[in-house]
């Protein structure tokens, strides 16, 4: 096993950061392949907390080379701040590289993200306002600025002049806001290029060489399948390919190099931002889960919407990703619930769905059909093996495994590094 992808399998915030940090102990490279600073991956080590937004969560492992792949949209200001913080906490950021092909999140992307969200009114997506959507729009409309462009002041000026003229027409004529200054942006971003010069490189070639040498490579997904631009609850999604398919195009590794895809689920489900969520609990139970799981955003601090485990969405995601295995995180959060529920199908006006409908209107009408399981009412955080988990927790997990039609590999019972039970051997 040399290449493993770890992907979000719900609406994000499943605990990918924690899992990546642990699995990275067995890796040589950890690679982010999509998204941007909209991600917030929290890792807790010896009581110290780290929140990764652009930097791969493998960074705490000193022997690991970390890569921000070509599929990521990079806000250089956010990246430099993050690097500064990590350096201040004693980490060597010299082993962090950014693809020269990665697109840059520019100030007009961040401004337009907000203006577009405001103009959607009631239909707002609830974006993180990190400029992600507008940056991917420019990438696909072929007017983006890439990391390599930051290294050449003349190229940067020429590209920026064309793009900014167009953006300023949008900003002033559509939204009635003040235009942005070419000179200011040029000098600020050329400066970022200088500061990041040693880190910007052909990471695709680096990874291909590493793969050829049999190095162990971990691909770290951000966001999750239900936020995927193709397969998520469109249009309430992010703007990248979050699924395993995106791991190849976003890193430069060939698709067949990825030998194992592991999906990350929570023992329940959460969502931040707008859009349908069939198992959402808008009651006291939802509030109990939010409190027990501390479900507040790592990036924006917003309250996360909470609900029971959705096996309909879960199985759909397992198939889209071709999951070889999966992890269940935050099992401990359900320790004090008398009963726990799993959604096994949706019902909408007399129709029954056992997979996620594409039509948003259908999706909005979907009501969950639940199975109810007895809770375990026992603390799980001290458990270090499958056999030490309470019997009812094991039944609950095995039922999820059956419904997802894929193999349970890991169970997480606490936020701290090491609070993880390996159910089947590590694929890396």
Cβ proximity to ligand IMO, 16 vs 341, nearer residue? 16
Cβ proximity to ligand IMO, 221 vs 414, nearer residue? 221
Rule CB under 6 A: say whether 335 interacts with ligand GDP. Answer: no
Cβ proximity to ligand IMO, 41 vs 167, nearer residue? 41
Rule CB under 6 A: say whether 126 interacts with ligand IMO. Answer: yes
DSSP letter at 299? S
Rule CB under 6 A: say whether 133 interacts with ligand IMO. Answer: yes
By CB under 6 A, the residues from 22 to 51 that bind ligand GDP are 40-42, 44
CA distances from 351 to 354, 367, 372 (A): 10, 10, 22
- Phi and psi torsions of 162, nearest 5°: -70, -50
Rule CB under 6 A: say whether 12 interacts with ligand IMO. Answer: yes
Rule CB under 5 A: say whether 40 interacts with Mg ion. Answer: yes
Cα distance between residue 312 and residue 309, in whole Å: 9
Rule CB under 6 A: say whether 380 interacts with ligand IMO. Answer: no
Cα distance between residue 216 and residue 239, in whole Å: 29
The contact mask relative to ligand IMO for 290-309 (x = CB under 6 A, - = no) is --------x-----------
CA 379 to chain centre: 28
DSSP letter at 350? T
Helices assigned H by DSSP within 121-202: 132-140, 153-169, 182-196
Q: How many residues bind ligand IMO (CB under 6 A)?
A: 24
One residue of 15, 246, 252, 273 binding ligand IMO per CB under 6 A? 273
Rule CB under 6 A: say whether 242 interacts with ligand GDP. Answer: no
Cα distance between residue 205 and residue 70, in whole Å: 11
Cα distance between residue 43 and residue 21, in whole Å: 7
**Binding-site partner at residue 133 among ligand GDP, Mg ion, ligand IMO, none, CB < 5 to 8 Å by type:** ligand IMO
Rule CB under 6 A: say whether 412 interacts with ligand GDP. Answer: yes
**Binding-site partner at residue 126 among ligand IMO, Mg ion, ligand GDP, none, CB < 5 to 8 Å by type:** ligand IMO
Going by their DSSP bridges, the two strands 103-104 and 65-68 should be labelled as unpaired
Rule CB under 6 A: say whether 40 interacts with ligand IMO. Answer: yes
Cα distance between residue 353 and residue 366, in whole Å: 8
Cβ proximity to ligand IMO, 269 vs 331, nearer residue? 269
Helices assigned H by DSSP within 322-367: 360-365
* Residue 418 CB, nearest approach to ligand GDP (Å): 11
**Binding-site partner at residue 273 among ligand IMO, ligand GDP, Mg ion, none, CB < 5 to 8 Å by type:** ligand IMO
Q: State the catalytic residues.
A: 13, 41
One residue of 5, 7, 13, 383 binding ligand GDP per CB under 6 A? 13
The arrangement of strands across the sheet holding 407-412 comes to 200-201, 96-99, 65-68, 29-32, 217-220, 3-8, 260-266, 325-329, 407-412, 420-422
> DSSP string spanning 202-252?
-HHHHHHHHHHTT--EEEE--S-GGG-TTTSSTTSS-SS--SHHHHHHTTT
Cα dihedral value 15, 56, 205, 136, nearest 10: 80
The contact mask relative to ligand GDP for 297-326 (x = CB under 6 A, - = no) is -x----------------------------
Part of the chain binding ligand GDP (CB under 6 A), chosen from 69-77, 142-150, 328-336, 364-372: 328-336
One residue of 332, 334, 357, 383 binding ligand GDP per CB under 6 A? 332
State the CB neighbour count (10 A cutoff) for residue 294. Answer: 11
One residue of 13, 14, 22, 28 binding Mg ion per CB under 5 A? 13
Q: What angle do CA 279, 284, 286 make, to 5 degrees?
A: 35
**Binding-site partner at residue 415 among ligand IMO, Mg ion, ligand GDP, none, CB < 5 to 8 Å by type:** ligand GDP
Residues that bind ligand IMO (CB under 6 A): 8, 11-13, 38-41, 125-128, 130, 132-133, 222-224, 227, 238-239, 272-273, 298
């Amino acid at each position: 096993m040399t290449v493993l992808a770890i992907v979000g399998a719900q609406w994000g915030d499943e605990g990918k950061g924690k899992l990546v940090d642990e699995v990275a102990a067995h890796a040589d490279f950890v690679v982010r392949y999509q998204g941007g600073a909209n991600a917030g991956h929290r890792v807790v080590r010896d009581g110290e907390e780290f929140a990764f937004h652009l930097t791969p969560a493998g960074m705490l492992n000193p022997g690991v080379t970390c890569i921000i792949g070509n599929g990521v949209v990079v806000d250089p200001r956010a990246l430099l701040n993050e690097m500064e913080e990590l350096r201040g906490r004693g980490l060597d950021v010299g082993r962090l590289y950014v693809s020269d092909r990665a697109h840059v999140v520019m100030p007009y992307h961040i401004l337009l993200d907000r203006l577009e969200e405001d103009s959607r009114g009631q239909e707002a997506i609830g974006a993180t306002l990190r400029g992600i959507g507008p940056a991917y729009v420019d990438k696909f409309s072929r007017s983006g600025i890439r990391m390599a462009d930051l290294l050449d002041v003349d190229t940067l000026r020429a590209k920026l002049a064309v793009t900014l003229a167009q953006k300023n027409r949008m900003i002033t004529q559509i939204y009635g806001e003040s235009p942005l200054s070419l000179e200011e942006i040029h000098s600020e971003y050329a400066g970022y290029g200088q500061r990041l010069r040693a880190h910007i490189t052909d990471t695709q070639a680096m990874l291909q060489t590493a793969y050829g040498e049999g190095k162990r490579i971990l691909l770290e997904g951000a966001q999750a399948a239900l936020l995927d631009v193709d397969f998520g609850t469109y249009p309430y999604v992010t703007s990248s390919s979050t699924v395993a398919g995106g791991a190849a195009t976003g890193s430069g590794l060939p698709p067949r190099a990825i030998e194992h895809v592991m999906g990350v689920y929570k023992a329940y489900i959460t969502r931040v931002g707008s859009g349908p969520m069939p198992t959402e609990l808008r009651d006291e139970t939802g509030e109990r889960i939010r409190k027990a799981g501390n479900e507040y955003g790592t990036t924006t601090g917003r309250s996360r919407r909470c609900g029971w485990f959705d096996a309909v969405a879960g199985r759909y995601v397992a198939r889209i990703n071709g999951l070889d295995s999966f992890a269940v995180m935050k099992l401990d959060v359900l320790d004090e619930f008398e009963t726990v529920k799993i959604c096994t199908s949706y019902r909408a006006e007399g129709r029954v769905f056992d997979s996620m409908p594409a039509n948003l209107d259908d999706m909005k009408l979907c009501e969950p059909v639940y199975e109810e399981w007895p809770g375990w009412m026992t603390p799980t955080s001290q458990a270090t093996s499958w056999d030490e988990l309470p019997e009812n927790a094991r039944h609950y997990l095995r039922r999820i495994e059956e419904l997802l039609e894929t193999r349970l590999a890991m169970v997480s019972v606490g936020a701290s590094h090491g609070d993880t039970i390996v159910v089947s051997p590590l694929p890396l």
